[in-house]
Amino acid sequence: MTEIDLRGLVPAPVTPFTPDGAVDHEALASYGRWLAGFDGVKGLVCLGHAGEGTFLTQDEQVAVIRTLVEAVGGKTPIIAGITGEGTAVAAAEARRAVDAGAAAGLLYPSHGWLRFGFQKGAPQDRYRVVHEESGLPLILFQYPDVTKASYDLETQLEIAAQPGVFATKNGVRNMRRWDTEIPVLRAEHPELQILTCHDEYLLHTMFDVDGALVGYGGLAPEPLIELIEAGKARDYAAARALHDRLLPVTKAVYHRGSHMEGTVALKLGLKARGILPSAAVRSPLIDLTPAAEQEIHLALKSAELV
User: How far is the first Cα of the chain from the last one, in angstroms, to the nearest whole number?
Assistant: 41
Min mean pLDDT across 46-60, 146-160, 247-261 is at 247-261
In whole angstroms, give the CA distance from residue 77 to residue 104.
8
Averaged over 124-146, what is the pLDDT?
A: 98
The structure's pTM equals: 0.96
Averaged over 41-50, what is the pLDDT?
A: 97
Whole-Å CA distances, 45 to 122, 153, 174, 213, 227: 24, 25, 24, 8, 20
Min mean pLDDT across 90-94, 118-122, 255-259 is at 255-259
Mean pLDDT of the chain: 96
- For residue 159, give the nearest of 144, 173, 146, 149 by alpha carbon: 149
Q: What is the pLDDT of residue 2?
A: 60
**Predicted confidence band of residue 140 (pLDDT cuts 50, 70, 90):** very high
pLDDT in tens, 282-302: 999 999 999 999 999 999 999
In whole angstroms, give the CA distance from residue 266 to residue 215.
8
Model confidence at 1: pLDDT above 90: no
Cβ contact 11:41 at 8 Å: yes
Rounded to the nearest 5°, which phi and psi values hold at 194? -105, 120
